[in-house]
Amino acid sequence: MDTLTPVSACRYITSIHLTTTQPTEFIDLTERVQQLIARAELRFGIVNVQTLHTTTAVVVNEHEPLLLADFQSLLEAAAPSDGRYQHDDTSARTVNLTDAERPNGHAHCRALLLPASVCLTVTSGRLLLGRWQRVFFVELDGPRERDVSVLIFGEAAR
């Protein structure tokens, strides 16, 4: 347990652009976030990884392909893609309708059950993660063009 002596502030905001290719997809952002922390020269602080969409999420879990398939089954059970969603009834809806409207009530419902942002600890210039922890962007209504913001905030390495 150490009390940290502040050196100088580090504030860095950027975003990661992603092109998803599947309706549901888990994209491992861990290395990209780690590289941004290194580039920002953050030593101690937080990184806030926040999706900019309402049918996506940011989660931390293990990167094991069969487990990611289990997650997809879990989300399908929680909010089935063939379920009935009032949001998809464009004859009844009057709000936020666009030309590109597509039925995605299930994706919003899945997003409600998952975090929109994850705040993670940075120490000694590295994301503090356990052995199996990886940071994922979760696409729930793909394929789409997506953006995730990354705020890096704390004490600079020099």
Q: Does 45 bind its own copies (CB under 8 A)?
A: yes
Examine residue 114 and tell whether it contacts its own copies (CB under 8 A).
yes
| Options 30, 34, 50, 81; binder of its own copies; rule CB under 8 A | 50
Q: Is 103 in the site for its own copies (CB under 8 A)?
A: no
Say whether residue 65 binds its own copies (CB under 8 A). Answer: yes
Of 17-25, 27-35, 84-92: span binding its own copies (CB under 8 A):
84-92
CB 21 to its own copies: min, Å:
20
- What are the two backbone dihedrals, phi and then psi, of residue 120, each rounded to the nearest 5 degrees? -120, 155
DSSP code per residue over 71-116: HHHHHHHHS-TTS--GGG-TTT--SS--TT----HHHHHHHHTS-S
Closest by Cα among 104, 123, 119, 114 to 44: 123
Smallest gap from residue 128 Cβ to its own copies (A): 5
